[in-house]
Amino acid sequence: MKAHLSRRYLFSASHRLHSDGMSDAENRDTYGKCNNPFGHGHNYVLEVTVSGRVDEKTGMVCNLADLDAFIEKEVLTRYDHENLNCLRDFAHHVPTTENLCMRIYEIVKRGFGLAHLDKVRLEETMMNSFEYAGAAEPQR
């Protein structure tokens, strides 16, 4: 029997949306107020969804304590109360929430092997959220 588990986490971070490959005018036109030179912050809601067989002994897809410890160590300590523009993860990428969502997916996919990672959802505001479920498999 396969089941899905979704777990939510909160963290705060700031960023400035700005691409070095565009002029200042293009950046202002593209990113609007999010191109503010002083940046701005968000209180993000991260939702991680994993799936797998329900263990007959424990009755769980995976141990929540294991998932929580992994997310705390590998995601929250990396991004919470940070300026995303200053992090190596975004040295060559604009720290949009889309890119942050994909980066978090990669971290969890690579490091958490106790259940299958289905998707990562990142809520930036009550009006904006982004989901990433990995690169699409090539069609045959």
Which DSSP string do the residues of 15-71 spell out, in sequence order?
E----TTS-HHHHHHHHGGGG-TT-EEEEEEEEEEEEEEPPTTT--SS-HHHHHHHH
Q: Is the pLDDT of residue 86 over 70?
A: yes
pLDDT band of residue 135 (cuts 50, 70, 90) is confident
Amino acid at 66: D
Instruction: State both tokens at 120.
Output: 């990562």
The answer to whether residue 30 sits within a structural domain is: yes
- In the chain, the percentage of residues whose pLDDT exceeds 90 is 94
The catalytic position among 42, 101, 123, 124 is 124
Please indicate, yes or no, if residue 34 is contained in any of the structural domains.
Answer: yes
In a domain? residue 117: yes
d(CA 132, CA 9): 16
pLDDT in tens, 39-50: 999 999 999 999
Task: Report how many domains make up the chain.
Answer: 1
**Residue 34 annotated to the active site:** yes
124 counts as catalytic: yes
Per the residue annotation, which of 34, 82, 106, 131 is the catalytic one?
34
The answer, yes or no, to whether residue 139 has pLDDT greater than 70, is no
* Gap between the Cα atoms of 83 and 78, Å rounded: 10
Predicted model pTM: 0.94
Residue 140 lies in a domain: no
86 is catalytic: no
The string of pLDDT tens digits covering residues 116-131 is 999 999 999 999 999 9
Catalytic residue among 26, 40, 81, 86: 81
Q: How far is 110 from 112, CA to CA, in rounded Å?
A: 6
Tell me the average pLDDT across 13-20: 97
Q: Average of pLDDT values for 60-76? A: 97
Q: Indicate whether 19 belongs to any domain.
A: yes
Is 71 domain-assigned? yes
Query: Average pLDDT of the chain?
Result: 95
Distance CA 115, CA 61 (A): 7
CATH of the domain at 104: 3.30.479.10
Q: Which domain holds residue 34?
A: 2-132
The pLDDT score that the predictor gives to residue 80 is: 98
Is 139 part of a structural domain of the chain?
Answer: no
Instruction: With respect to residue 137, please indicate whether it lies within any of the assigned structural domains.
Output: no
